[in-house]
Amino acid sequence: MAIRALRGATQLSADDFDEMREAVEELLGEMFGRNQISHADLISVIFTATPDLHCGFPATAARGLGLGDVPLLCAVEIEVASALPRVVRVLMHVETAKERAELVHVYRRGAEVLRIDLAQ
């Protein structure tokens, strides 16, 4: 087993906590499913949000999926004038037998433009 990092991001249409919860749950669920990982494989998850999101913490949505025992951290992205607005990014650390090249990074709801090279 190796420790690997998975990337993901999602974009919200508005600064709304219900939408954030839905989008984060969707993103994490797809990251788990596409990479065949489970709760037990998680080491930690770092969330960032663009400075225009004030409605809540992405980690709160993750705890709603039962990840309360996993170390979760939220931070604010640096403010860049040309940045895509209302984006939540995820950096998930997992234990996996997969090689780095086998990992599927997930970008949803318009965030695909952030990493066209990685988005599936």
Query: What pLDDT, in 10s, does the model give residues 26-65?
Result: 999 999 999 999 999 999 999 999 999 999 999 998 888 8
Q: Domain coordinates of the chain in residue numbers?
A: 2-115
Is 89 one of the annotated active-site residues of the chain? Answer: yes
CATH number of the 2-115 domain: 3.30.1330.40
Is 74 one of the annotated active-site residues of the chain? Answer: yes
Is 108 one of the annotated active-site residues of the chain? Answer: no
Note the pLDDT tens digit of each residue in 84-93.
Answer: 899 999 999 9
Chain centre distance of CA 102:
18
Q: Which of the following is catalytic: 4, 21, 89, 109?
A: 89
Residue 20 pLDDT greater than 90, yes or no: yes
Q: Supply the DSSP string of 15-49, one letter for each residue.
A: S-HHHHHHHHHHHHHHHHHHHT--GGGEEEEEEEE
Is 112 one of the annotated active-site residues of the chain? Answer: no
Encoded tokens for 83? 């940045």
Is 21 one of the annotated active-site residues of the chain? Answer: no
